[in-house]
């Protein structure tokens, strides 16, 4: 897996989210994020933001049309609460989860998993896609 994780390399934008979230390694050299891997190993990278960025399916396909996609879903409310706490460590957000939802009204759209996966299935063949649901 990439070092660090959640590169957001293929994110073009993050609609409705603080701009500070697309910082760090985004759009920097992808190959150097795998320098620690042995030659011939399969490489992987994950970023929850890919699911909600409308351009990601096409950008990923352009990079590697044969890549395998694994979608792992979490209960949407649990995912949002976790996301709120994660970005609270990286960027200024409301002091409460309710305040965060008020300030970011489109954030609840991230839980529309079926809608987001359909965007990937318009670009990738279904045989390239695997999905699972997490209970934690």
Query: Which whole number is the average pLDDT over 122-131?
Result: 90
Rounded CA separation 62/76 (Å) = 29
All residues at 6 or more sequence positions from 2 whose CB lies less than 8 Å from its CB, including other chains: 33, 34, 43, 44, 45
pTM for this entry: 0.78
Query: Which whole number is the average pLDDT over 15-42?
Result: 68
User: What pLDDT score was predicted for residue 37?
Assistant: 92
User: What pLDDT score was predicted for residue 136?
Assistant: 54
Query: Which whole number is the average pLDDT over 74-83?
Result: 92
The region of weakest confidence among 10-14, 30-34, 41-45, 118-122 is 10-14
Say yes or no to pLDDT of 113 above 80: yes
What are the residue ranges spanned by the domains of the chain? 47-133
């Amino acid at each position: 897996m990439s070092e660090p994780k959640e590169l957001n390399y293929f994110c073009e934008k993050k609609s409705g989210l603080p701009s500070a979230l697309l910082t760090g390694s985004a759009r920097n050299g992808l190959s150097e994020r795998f320098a620690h891997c042995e030659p011939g190993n399969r490489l992987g990278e994950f970023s929850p933001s890919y699911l909600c960025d409308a351009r990601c399916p096409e950008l990923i396909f352009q990079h590697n049309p044969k890549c395998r996609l694994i979608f792992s879903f979490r209960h949407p409310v649990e995912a949002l609460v976790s996301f709120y706490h994660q970005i609270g460590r990286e960027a200024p957000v409301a002091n409460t989860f309710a305040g965060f939802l008020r300030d970011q009204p489109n954030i609840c759209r991230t839980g529309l998993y079926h809608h987001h996966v359909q965007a990937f299935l318009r670009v990738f063949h279904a045989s390239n896609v695997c999905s699972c649901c997490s209970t934690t």
